[in-house]
Amino acid sequence: MSDVTIEPSTSTKLIAEALGTFLLLFGAVGTALFASDFGVGDNGTSLGVGFVGVALAFGLTILAGVYTWGPISGGHFNPAVTIGLAAAGRFEWRNVPGYIVAQIVGGAVGTTLLFLIGVFGPGSWLSEKQAAGFASNGFGDLSPGGFGLGSAIVAEILFTAIFVLVILGVTHSKRGTGFAGVAIGLTLTLIHLASIPIDNTSVNPARSIATAIYGGGGFLAQLWVFIVFPIVGALLAGYAHRALFEPKALPPAQAEARVE
């Protein structure tokens, strides 16, 4: 048996990123579309999983993806995470575009398959879901709770920054934990629990693009918010983490003096 670890190829990493993002969109958005509001039973009890179920679906799918494909690609599954890691010095900028393309493609495949399921769904199910946005993100009249543009901007910056900071902390080579996937999944669940009523929670441009494709109309017009501001939050988190928590290399003269 050889102890030599073979580094995955670039193409393998990109496939892993696409698969992880596919799982996130197919599983979590599928929960939002099919199971969040399933009507009521004979006793008046809701049969849907509601906001809590959707939030858990996002957390569980990212947890599964991180443990399945994280060892191959790092388990970003989110353009904002990739950019945040690059800003923190934990990922090479030259690899960022390829990861983002793979994530967007994987997410779009996920929602496309959900759309295909809906094509064969009952009655007007598909047209109703598309009219409601196909689980897209939105503000103002398209916000679940009626929150405006300013609320969406602040929420996306802050919640994305929190998410990236947690990821940077729990995956640190020395201070990290073997339960990083659990921490990341629970954090994403918490973020959704807090922010679904605001703008249906993005913190992930690939997720927003994948759903807006089928939400169309106003959701496509508002998509820029859910691309730009998660990236802003990720950059702030990445640079802040690098400045606050990563040790700075000492100049050679000072290093020698400290050794002496």
pLDDT tens-digit series, residues 56-104: 999 999 999 999 999 999 999 999 999 999 999 999 999 999 999 999 9
> What is the CATH architecture of 10-245?
Up-down Bundle (1.20)
Helical residues (DSSP H) of the chain, grouped into ranges: 10-24, 30-34, 50-73, 79-87, 96-119, 125-131, 149-170, 180-199, 205-215, 217-221, 225-245, 252-259
Segment 182-198 shows an average pLDDT of 97
Q: For residues 141 and 154, is the Cβ–Cβ distance under 8 A? A: no
Classify residue 25 by its DSSP letter: I
Question: Which amino acid does the sequence have at 135?
Answer: A
Contact 23, 65 (CB under 8 A): yes
Mean of the per-residue pLDDT values of the chain:
92
Domain boundaries, the chain: 10-245
Read off the pTM: 0.92
* CA–CA separation, 236 and 240 (whole Å): 6
Query: Is pLDDT above 50 for 244?
Result: yes
Q: What does the block give as tokens for 174?
A: 């020395």
**Sign for the pseudo-dihedral over CA of 58, 59, 65, 68:** negative
Q: Pull the structure tokens for residue 23.
A: 């799982």
* CA neighbor of 219 nearest in space, from 209, 229, 228: 209
Q: Find the Cα–Cα–Cα–Cα dihedral 63, 64, 65, 70, rounded to 10°.
A: 80
